[in-house]
Amino acid sequence: MNFERPWQRLAALPGIWRDLTPRTQWVLAALFILIVAALVWYARSVENGATRFKTEAVTRGDIEQTVTALGSLQPKDYVDVGAQASGELKIVHVQIGDHVNKGDLLAEIDPTVYESTVAADKAKVRDLEAQIKRQEAQLELSRIQNRRNQGLLKINAVSKDTADTSAATVKQDQASLDSLKAQLDQANSTLQGDEANLSYTKIYAPMSGTVTSQTTLQGQTLNNRQTAPTILQIADLSTMTVKAQVAEADVGKLKVGMPVYFTTLGMPDRKWRSTVRQILPTPETVNDVILYNALIDVANADHALMTSMTAQVFFLLGEAKNVPIVPVAALRPAKSGEAGAYRVMVMDGGRPTPRDVKIGLMNRITAEVVSGLEEGDIVVTGTESASGTKKASSGGGSRTPTL
């Protein structure tokens, strides 16, 4: 068999080329040139890094530095109206949503047992008063007899024993009268207590406000000896309190009196502004996370805020108006390590150039430029390859500084 070596085939190419027609030779030459040009373009694109820089301009705007938290709304002033008397809840005069004034009659408990007790107490008092009058008369008679006997004793008209007996009788009648008066005081005290219990069968509003809940229904039996039964709740809805749960890492940044605003789920475009009233010292633990409660009071004249609404709370650590701002994605910490010192890559003549800048307020999206950049400067926030794959920004700017 005749085996041809590879170089023998290459040696035969000139002859093959000469055998081709001129038109075929031109086509093959043009195709070769196109392939070489494509290879050169690809090599240069790889060498120059065929990536596009993602950039943004430095602009002017407002910036806020905040601590965020979730909270819930409750009335600032409210009272759970309970019953001090036991018995059947005979009638409830109000409904949920009704506005009541302080002193209005809210509900009544069956007073039958209490009325009978008060009637017996009054009868006891009248009986004792009658006994006292009889005893006072007896005491007066004993005193008259004693005075007579003491006078007769002086002229030896009666014996000394008779005179002593009459004197002792006066003291006995006086002691009996004192005992009856003490019993009357006790009976009056019992009457006052039972009258108070009778008055508790009528339940009045302790404050003005709105009836927000009713936990006991008309016809139910109340027993105040086991628990203090709650009938309904009255709240003043003109002022609401947000109870915001702040993370342990952020609570140290808060202070009483600092400005704060919040939004609700139902009205995300409306902001309610106030200040921090109190930071409770005892935390709550939720899913092994320690949370501290901050209290914020806010006026609610239109009653748009309701009990148990969820609030997104923003504690304002600082704010600046109409200042140069730069995207946080363009920043990376400067090597100097100074506070507020960062480095950015600025596009200069189509090429990114490093520049040191001083940053003031910062949130998760933008930062205030104190020095080093001007409005209109173009900064690099990241890169994107020709294939569309995103890469980290030049100079490590993809690392977002934490607050």
Whether 313 and 327 map to the same domain: the answer is no
| In a shared domain, residues 116 and 196 | yes
CATH code, domain carrying 309 = 2.40.30.170
Each residue's pLDDT expressed in tens, for the chain with a length of 403 residues: 444 554 455 455 566 656 677 777 677 777 778 777 666 655 555 455 556 888 999 999 999 999 999 999 999 999 999 998 999 999 999 999 999 999 999 999 999 999 999 999 999 999 999 999 999 999 999 999 999 999 998 988 899 999 999 999 999 999 999 999 999 999 999 999 999 999 999 999 999 999 999 988 888 888 877 677 889 999 999 999 999 999 999 999 999 999 999 999 989 999 999 999 999 999 999 889 999 999 999 999 999 999 999 999 999 999 999 999 999 999 998 877 678 899 999 998 888 999 999 999 999 899 999 999 999 999 999 887 555 555 544 443 333 333 3
Residue 230 included in any domain? no
In terms of Cα–Cα distance, which of 131, 138, 143, 139 is closest to 181?
A: 131
- Looking at the fold, whether 299 and 262 belong to one and the same domain comes out as yes
Number of structural domains found in the chain: 3
Picking from 300, 319, 338, the residue at the C-terminal end of a domain is 319
Of the candidates 296, 319, 342, which is a domain's last residue? 319
38 in any annotated domain: no
What is residue 174's predicted lDDT score, i.e. its pLDDT? Answer: 95
pLDDT of residue 105: 96
Please indicate, yes or no, whether residues 352 and 312 belong to a single structural domain of this protein.
no
What CA–CA distance (Å, rounded) separates 207 from 157? Answer: 77
- Which of 286, 319, 352 delimits the end of a domain? 319
Give domain status of residue 265, yes or no. Answer: yes
In 3D, which of 245, 261, 201, 205 has the Cα closest to residue 78? 205
Distant-in-sequence, close-in-space partners of 239: CB < 8 Å, separation ≥ 6: 75, 76, 77, 297, 298, 299, 300
Cβ atoms 261, 274 nearer than 8 A? yes
**Domain of residue 271, residue span:** 68-75+237-319
Same domain as 300, residue 290 = yes
Q: Does residue 194 share a domain with residue 118?
A: yes
Residue 4 lies in a domain: no
What is the predicted pLDDT for the residue at 395? 40
Do 313 and 329 belong together in one domain?
A: no
Is residue 13 one of the residues assigned to a domain? no
Q: Is 337 exposed, middle or buried (0-12, 13-18, 19+ CB in 10 A)?
A: exposed
What does pTM read for this prediction?
0.68
Specify if 80 maps to a domain.
no
Same domain, 265 and 251: yes
